[in-house]
Structure formats: structure tokens, C-alpha cells
Amino acid sequence: MAENGELDLTQLDNSFIYVIDTKKPNSPPFSKELTAWDSKLNAAKTVYFPSRVVFDPQSTNVYVRGTRFEEINGLVTPIDVIAYVHLNLDDNGKPVFDSTVVPVDIQGVSTPYTGEAPLDLPSMAQTTASPSSMLIRRRIS
């Protein structure tokens, strides 16, 4: 929060997901910032407050339920989103995220976006949530 009580987006730091290689649990985690460039807005769309993470083993996509913020009519507006990013293994078997994060705004009943969507996603993989980040606990093979 800024001194005037407004939300200060520059102070938010919980826009990452982390992957732990369960074959090497003592190795450092791999992280991915959930930010995408929007050429229409000429601005970055960053997904904050990840509330759920789901890994789809068929597509190897990681889906994240979160919130992004956009200034609309001079007000900082929360917009609920589901974002996804592709996760793969490199030649050495280490997990690697694609560079592209795709955020998809959740539409409201009669509006192009909402700030009141449920925080859950369908369960497709075992996940563990913490207030400031998400940890995917699925062995990548």
C-alpha cells in the first residue's frame, strides 16, 4: 500500500510460480514470473496472488488462477484471470518454462471481466498453496 492508502502495484512481489525437481529436492527451485506483454494495451499483464496451480500432464501446461490489475478510468481495478505457461524438460532433464505466459481474463455475467470469480480450478494434479507463492509437487518425467 502507498502512504495515501492506495494499492501500489510496484510493491507487489507475489507473481511467481516455483517448480521443485523431486528427483533432486535439494537443488534450487525453478521459477517463472507470470507476466505477459499486451501489445493492445502497450503494457505488461502480470498475474498476482496465485490461488491455485494445476499441471496438465497431457499438454504439459501449468494453469494458474490469479488476479491482475489494470487502471480503468483512473482506478486500479482487479481482474480475475486464469493464466497458463508451457513446462518442458531440457536436454539434461531439467524443467524449463516457455517464455510466453498467456493470461485469460475471466468474464463477468454481463461484463468483459470480473473481480469476483471463484478462486478454485479443477484438480488435475497435486498442488500445494502458500500465501505468497505456489509449489508444484509433481515429478516431471
pLDDT tens by residue, 30-85: 899 999 998 888 888 999 998 889 989 899 999 999 999 988 887 888 999 999 99
* Domain-located, residue 141: no
* Domain-located, residue 95: yes
Q: What is the mean pLDDT of residues 91-114?
A: 88
* Domain-located, residue 61: yes
Q: Which residues contact 116 (CB under 8 A, 6 or more apart)?
A: 80, 108
Which range marks the domain in which residue 93 is found?
Answer: 9-136
Structural domains counted in the chain: 1
**97: β partners:** 87
* Domain-located, residue 1: no
* Domain-located, residue 104: yes
Cα dist. 129→64, 69, 105 in Å? 11, 21, 21
* Domain-located, residue 2: no
More confident residue, 129 or 62: 62
* Domain-located, residue 127: yes
